[in-house]
Amino acid sequence: MKSFTAIKLIDAIINNPKESRRESLLNTFEQDGKKSSSNTKFKFWAHENLLILLKTKTMYGHALNYTHYNPSSNRLCKRYKPLAIQ
């Protein structure tokens, strides 16, 4: 999931002509990628993994909202809107 998401997001940054921070974001990802032996070009995610079994819809909702909120807290996007889990 992480590599698929990273590839899609980096592709969206590269191919979106309205992305005003394209050069800055790609430069940051590329510099981090050069420091890592496990990446070939860009490093998008931190390598620390914490595996947690999401047993309930509430746990899934918290994890999903964290995934969506994290870019906002790092100022990579302007707005955060929690998703309703049904």
List pLDDT tens digits, range 27-44: 888 887 777 777 668 777
Give 42-76 pLDDT, tens digit per residue: 777 666 667 788 999 998 888 887 777 766 555 65
- Residues contacting 41, CB < 8 A, separation 6+: 30, 33
Distance CA 64, CA 38 (A): 26
Examine the domain organization and report whether 16 and 37 are in the same domain: yes
Examine the domain organization and report whether 5 and 36 are in the same domain: yes
Q: Enter the pTM of the model.
A: 0.48
Examine the domain organization and report whether 12 and 38 are in the same domain: yes
Closest CA to 51 of 38, 63, 61, 37: 63
Examine the domain organization and report whether 19 and 37 are in the same domain: yes
What's the number of domains the chain is made of? 2
